[in-house]
């Protein structure tokens, strides 16, 4: 979580952090962010459940991070509704590239919005 915060701060993006899935769902509903970065392993509700719940109410781009390295875990992230899944450890450049891609795609669909992110870890 700390590494993701540092990486996002380097891009000077408006970023809001949630410490668990329940808090993240509330934050995402209130802020309606342009991108959600979601860790699979969180206290309480895991990232797969959070992603599924978000998909019930939103099409916001979701970038999922996981330490699980089995292909079934990545497939499960996509099945839950993630737009992209990155395995940890990852390179900073890979994370930034995926963030840029998802934000660009979202900006094309919603050109008037400011760029805000919610990171849940």
Q: Which pLDDT belongs to residue 16?
A: 87
In this prediction, the residues of the chain whose per-residue pLDDT falls under 50 are none
Contact 115, 103 (CB under 8 A): yes
Coil/strand/helix, residue 15: strand
Angle separating helix axes 92-109 and 2-10, nearest 10 degrees: 60
**Which ranges of 32-91 would DSSP assign to H, the alpha helix?**
47-57, 71-80
Q: Which pLDDT belongs to residue 106?
A: 72
Q: Which pLDDT belongs to residue 22?
A: 93
Sequence-distant (6+) residues with CB within 8 A of 58 are: 28, 32
pTM, entire model? 0.86
Q: Which pLDDT belongs to residue 28?
A: 92
CB < 8 Å & 24+ apart, contacts of 49-53: 49/21, 49/80, 50/21, 50/24, 50/25, 50/120, 51/77, 51/80, 51/81, 51/82, 52/80, 52/81, 53/25
Instruction: State how beta strands 14-18 and 35-39 pair.
Output: unpaired
């Amino acid at each position: 979580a700390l590494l993701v915060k540092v990486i996002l701060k380097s891009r000077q993006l408006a970023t809001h952090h949630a410490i668990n899935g329940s808090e993240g769902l509330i934050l995402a509903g209130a802020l309606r962010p342009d991108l959600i970065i979601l860790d699979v392993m969180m206290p309480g509700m895991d990232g797969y459940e959070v992603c599924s719940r978000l998909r019930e109410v939103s099409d916001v781009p979701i970038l999922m991070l996981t330490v699980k390295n089995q292909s079934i875990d990545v497939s499960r992230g996509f099945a839950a509704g993630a737009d992209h899944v990155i395995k940890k450890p990852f390179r900073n450049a890979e994370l930034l590239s995926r963030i840029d891609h998802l934000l660009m795609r979202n900006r094309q669909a919603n050109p008037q919005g400011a760029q805000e992110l919610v990171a849940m870890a």
